Structure 1
Amino acid sequence: MKYVIGVDLGTSAVKVLLLSQEGQVCGEVSASYPLIQEKHGYSEQSPEAWVEKTTQAMGELVRQFAGNVADIEGISFSGQMHGLVLLDRQKRVLRNAILWNDTRTSRQCQQIYERVGRERLLEIAKNPALEGFTPPKLLWVKEHEPELFRQAAWFLLPKDYLRYRMTGTIETEYSDAAGTLLLDVAEKTWSTTVCELLDLDPGLCPPLVESHQCVGTITPAFAERTGLSPATKVFAGGADNACGAIGSGILSDGKTLCSIGTSGVILSYEASKARDFQGRVHYFNHAKENAYYTMGVTLSAGHSLSWFKQVFAEQEDFDTLLSGVDQVPIGSNGLLYTPYLVGERTPHADAVIRGSFIGLDAAHRKIDFVRAVIEGITFSLCESVEIFRKSGKTIDTIISIGGGAKNRTWLQMQADIFNARIVKLASEQGPGVGAAMLAAYGCGWFSSLEECAERFIQPVATHQPIKENVERYHNLYSVYKRVYHQTREINGALSAFRG
C-alpha cells in the first residue's frame, strides 16, 4: 500500500494528514502557533514557526506510522492565502510574515487604484484591491521599512516558503498566485503591467508551476528530522480554498462549497475565465489545471466562535460550548450577531467595520450568545450565496466542511438559512485532503482529479431545508442585512478609540 501526506498550513495551526491509496485517513497530527498582533489591525506570524511546527507534526506522524516509510510516496500542501514572506538574495527571511487578515494597508489599496485603476485591475487580476492581498503589503513595507525592502529578492506565499524549506526550491502555483493581485488570472502569467504601475520589480515574483507538479524531493536534512525517506516526492500544492474545493469534489460546474475555518467561504466552480462579477466576489485560478472558482469570504467565521470561547468560556471545549444550542429557538431569543471582528470582505469590503451583538436582554444566557454567533456567521455566508444566485447560478446543493460541519445543529442551520441541501463528508478537512489528492494525482495513482475524488471523497449525511425554518430565517436575515449599514458610521467614529 502506498501513501501520501497532505499538509494544511492554516492561520492558527498546521494539520498533517496521511492518506492511503484507498483514500482512508490513516494518521493525523496538528500543531499550533501564535499570531503576532503588536498593533491594532496588525496580524503577523513567524515563518520559522511554520517550519518548526510542521517538522514536529510530520515527525510525530511518521512515528505513529506502522508501515514502511518508503511507501509514503508524496507530499503536497494547502496554505493560507495572500500572506507576504520576504526573502533576501541568500533566501533568508527578512521579517515576520504579514497575514491575510492584516488590515493596516487601507492607504496602499487606494494607491493601487490610483496607479492601476479599478477597472484595469479587475480586468487583469479579477479581484479588487483589499487590505488582505499581497501588493498592499509590499507597498507598505516599501514605504515604512525601505532599508529592509531594498534587500528583498523574492516574495513567497506561506505554504511556498514552507515547501522551500523542505526542498530548497522556490516557486509558487497559480491558485495562490491568483491571490496576489499580480497574476493575470486569464493568461496565467505574472502581470508586468501591474508590477510596473506599482513600481514593483517583477523579479520579486517566484516561478509559476501547476499545483500537481513535482518540484523535487525532500532534502536529506528534512528527511533526517522527520524520519521520512529522502526519495519522498514534493508537489506544489494549492491555496487553502482551492485545495478545500478539490478535497470536497468541487471539480465541475454546479458544485458549491461552504467551508468554515478561521475565515469562511462560499465557493463555486467555474469552467470559464470570462465570467464577470465586477469584483463583488473573488475570482481565482483553481488548483485543478485550467479551471477557476469564484468565492465570497467572511473574514471572522470560525474566528468569531473561537474568540467568544476565549473571552467568555476559556475553560470549555467546543463540544461543551455548543451543548444545548439546539434547544435555543431560531433568532436566539431576539439576539443578533454580526461577525465583523477584523472588518469584512464579502459583500462589504470594509476594514473599519466591527462586530456587534444587537438586542441584548437581561434574560439572555450564554447559550443564546453562542447560537447568535453561529447564526450570524451563517447569515454572513448567505450574503455570498445570494450574490451567486442573483448572477444566475443555481445553488441547490452545498458541500459543507470545516468547523461548521462538525455540529448537526449548525449543518441544519446552513440548510435552512441557505435554503439548500447540505451534504456532510466523511472527512470535513477538505484542504488537507485536497492537498493529499494533488500528491496522489501527481504520483500517477489516478488519471484525473475527478477519478481521485471518486475514491477519496465519501458523503455521509444530508440535511434538507425545513420549510418553516427557511421562512423564519428569511425574515431574520433581512434584519441582519440592515445592521451593517446602520452601524457603519458608528464604527468609523469608534475606530479612533481602538488601541
Structure 2
Amino acid sequence: MYLLGIDVGTSGTKSIIFDLKGNIISKAYAEYSLITPEPGWFEQDPEVWWNATIKTIKNAIEKASIKASEINCIGLSGHTNTPSFIDKNGKPLYHSIVWMDRRAEKQSYYINEKIGMEKIHKITGVKIDPFYSIYKVLWLKDNHPNIIEKIHAILQPKDYIGLKLTGVFFLDKALASSSGYLDINKGEYAYDLLEEIGFPIDKLPKLVLPYEIVGEVTEEAEKLTGLKKGTPVVAGSGDVMVNAIGCGTIEVGSAYNKMATASDIVVCIEKPIFDKKTRMVFYNHVIPNKWLLVGGSNSGICYRWFRDQFGFIEKEIAKSLNKDPYEIMDAEAENVEPGSNNLIFLPYLAGARSPIWDTNAKGVFLGITLNHGKNHFIRSILEGIAYDVKHRIEIIEKDFGIKINEVRIVGGGGKSNLWRQIMADIYNKPILLPSGSEQECFGAAILAGYGVKIYKDIAKTVKEIIPIIDIKEPKKENVEKYAKLFKIYVELYDKLKESFYSLSH
C-alpha cells in the first residue's frame, strides 16, 4: 500500500511514492524554466507541467519496482498565485502568469483606489498586490478580453494536473484563500467583492476541501502516466499549506521557513490576524479552524540566479563529482567567516514582497572591496536571504505578539548544513530539520491518505511519522556579529527606496 505525492513547483515537478510510515520509496524530478517576455513578467506553459508530471510519475513507478495498482491514492501540491486559463476541453488559452509576475500594477492601483486595502484585507486575508491571482486575472480581462470569454475555468498549477488526471475542474478552499478569491469569514467565494471589482466569477471552478477526493485517474491519464485507472485523486493544496502538514506546523505558534525559489516564513495561528500595515497576510490552513500567518518573499531565487549566471565552474565540478552544484557553492562559502567580511546582500532581484511590498526594489551588494572573492558573494547571498526572513520574524514577534521558539526548515535550501547554521545564527533560534526533506509531496500524500481514510487523524499522523533529524543551535559569537550587520541591512532599503523608484521609471 503506497501513496503518491505530486508537487508542481516553480522550477520543476516532483513525483514521490511513500509508504504509510512516510518513508520515500522512490522519487523523480523534472526541471523547467520560466518564460520572461518582458521585464517583471514571468510565465509558464501548463503543458510543460503536465509533460513533467507524466515523466516523473513514470520514472517514480519504475524506480519503486511496484505495480501502479499498489498506489492507493494521489495527493497534489503546487506553487500558488499562478492562474492558468483553461478552456472547456482542458487546453490552456494563455501562458500561466507566475506568482512573481508584476504586470498587474495598474489593476492593483485601481482596486486600491476603488475599494481600499483595509476592506480587501479584512474580507480575503490577503492584500492588494500584483502577486495575487485576483489581480493577474483582472489584467488578462483588461488586456485580452477575447481570451477571458473563452475560459471555462481559472485553475492553479496543481489543479491543472488534477484536471489532466481526472477530467474534473476544481479549486480547494485553502488555495482559493491564498489567491484572494475567498471570503475568509464565510469560507466561500467572496461573491459580493468579486462582483464589485469586475472579476469574472463564472470562470471560477467548484470549491472543494483539501482532503476531498475530486475524481479518479481516467483511462487517458492511465495511458500517459502508467497509473492505474480508477486510482483516487485528492485535491491537496498550495505548497504553502501542504508544507505546513509535511513538516509538522500544525500547533498554534509553530512555524516553518521555506527556502526554495521563494523564502516564506509561515506561522500557525488560531484566528485571523489583521495587519493594519498589511505587511503580512493569512490563508486558511488545510486543518479546519486554523489559519496560517504568511510572510512571503521572492528572495530564495537569488541563489539559483547566481548559480545559473556565475556558477559555470561549479556546475562542471559538480558534474565530474556527481554532486549538486549547490554543494560546491556551499563548500566555497564555508571558507568565508560569518558576515562575509562585511559584504551585505539585499535580495530583491524580483522586487520585494513581505514586509516591504515594493515592485521597484532591486538587488544590491553593499560593502564590496578588493578583498572580496567569489566565495564572499556566495555566502553573502545565503546571509542576505536569511536577513530577509529575520526582518519578517521580528515583525511577527514584536508587532503581533507571537513568540516563535523554533523554526522548522523546508525546501531545497534545507539540505544545506551551512545555510541552516546561518539561519540559526541570524534568527537566533534553533533550526529544526524534519525527516524526509520533501515536505510538499509528503504533505500532499498525507492529505490523500486522510481523504481515502487510510489515516484517521491528520494531526496525530503528522506527529507520529515526522521526526526531527537535525537541530542547529545559534552560536553566540555569530549571533552578535549578525545582529550588527542586520541593523545595517534593515536600514538599507529605506536609504535606497527613492533610487529604486528612479531606476524603474
The alignment-based identity, stated in percent, is 29
> AA paired with 1:396?
N
Work out whether 1:479 is the aligned partner of 2:488: yes
Specify the alignment match of 1:422 in structure 2.
431
Asked if structure 1 preserves the Cα contact closer than 8 Å seen for 2:27 and 2:63, the reply is no
Q: Distance in 2 between matches of 1:154 and 1:12?
A: 24
Report the equivalent of 1:308: 306
User: What is the rounded CA distance, in whole Å, between the counterparts of 2:289 and 2:163 in structure 1?
Assistant: 25
1:387-426 Cα shifts (integer Å, max 9, x gaps)? 1101111111111112332121211111111111111122
Amino acid of the structure 2 residue aligned with 1:188: G
Distance 2:289 2:89 in 1: 34
3-state DSSP class of the match of 2:380?
A: helix
Q: Which residue of 2 aligns with 1:494?
A: 503
- The whole-number CA distance in structure 1 between the counterparts of 2:271 and 2:427 is 25
User: Is the 8 Å Cα contact of residues 152 and 204 (structure 1) preserved in structure 2?
Assistant: yes
* Distance in 2 (alpha carbons) for counterparts of 1:402 and 1:236: 21
> What is the RMSD of the two structures over their aligned residues, measured on CA atoms?
1.3
1:115 and 1:197 in contact (8 A); partners too: no
CA distance in 2, matches of 1:104, 1:398: 33
Partner amino acid, structure 1, of 2:442: V
Instruction: Work out the CA distance in 1 between the residues paired with 2:473 and 2:206.
Output: 45
- Deviation at residue 115 of structure 1 after TM alignment: 2.4
1:437 counterpart = 2:446:
yes
1: CA distance, partners of 2:255 / 2:90? 39
What is the correspondence of 1:356-371 to structure 2 with a 5 Å cutoff? 356-371=364-379
Aligned to 1:276: 274
TM-score by length of 2: 0.95
Which secondary structure state, in structure 2, belongs to the residue aligned with residue 465 of structure 1? Answer: coil
Match of 1:352 in 2: 360
Q: CA deviation at 1:327?
A: 2.6
Question: Is the 8 Å Cα contact of residues 182 and 195 (structure 1) preserved in structure 2?
Answer: yes
| Correspondences of 1:61-460 after superposition (within 5 Å) | 61-273=60-272, 275-278=273-276, 279-301=278-300, 303-316=301-314, 317-390=325-398, 391-460=400-469
Report the CA distance between 1:481 and its aligned residue.
Answer: 0.5
Offset, 1:181: 1.4
Question: Is contact 2:299-2:388 (8 Å) kept?
Answer: no
2:16 — aligned with what?
A: 17
> 2:180 & 2:237 partners in 1: Cα distance?
16
Report the CA distance between 1:150 and its aligned residue: 2.2
Specify the SS of the correspondent of 2:455. coil
CA distance in 2, matches of 1:201, 1:34: 29
CA shift for structure 1 position 68: 2.9
Cα distance, 1:456 vs structure 2 = 2.8
The equivalent residue for 2:38 is 39
Output the amino acid matched with 1:400: I
- 1:146-192: CA deviation from partner (whole Å, max 9, x where unpaired): 22222223211111111111100011111210122121012110011
Structure 1 CA distance, aligned partners of 2:55 and 2:160? 17
Question: Which secondary structure does the structure 2 equivalent of 1:295 belong to?
Answer: strand
Deviation at 1:201, TM superposition (A): 2.9
Conserved 8 A contact 2:271-2:290: yes
| In 2: Cα distance, 1:461 partner to 1:65 partner | 27
Q: Is the 8 A contact 1:62 1:226 kept in 2?
A: no
- Secondary structure of the 1:386 match is helix
Identify which of 476, 492, 495 aligns with 1:467. 476
What's the offset of the Cα at 1:304? Answer: 0.5
CA contact (8 A) 2:342 2:485 kept: no
Structure 2 regions of 5+ residues with no counterpart?
A: 315-324
- CA distance in structure 2 between the aligned counterparts of 1:167 and 1:153, rounded to whole angstroms: 16
* Bigger mean CA offset, 256-265 vs 190-199: 190-199
Alpha-carbon shift at residue 90 of structure 1 (Å): 3.9
Once the two structures are overlaid, the 10-residue window that deviates more, 359-368 or 455-464, is 455-464
How many residues were matched structurally? Answer: 493
Q: Is the 8 A contact 2:90 2:163 kept in 1?
A: no
- Cα distance in structure 1, aligned partners of 2:210 and 2:312: 39
User: Is there any run of 5+ residues in structure 1 with no aligned partner, and where?
Assistant: none
Find the aligned partners of 2:188 and 2:391 in 1 and give their Cα distance. Answer: 32
Q: How far is 1:16 from its partner?
A: 0.9
Q: Deviations over 1:247-298 (max 9, x none)?
A: 000111121101101011110001223x222322120011223321001112
Counterpart CA distance in 1 for 2:245 and 2:173 is: 14
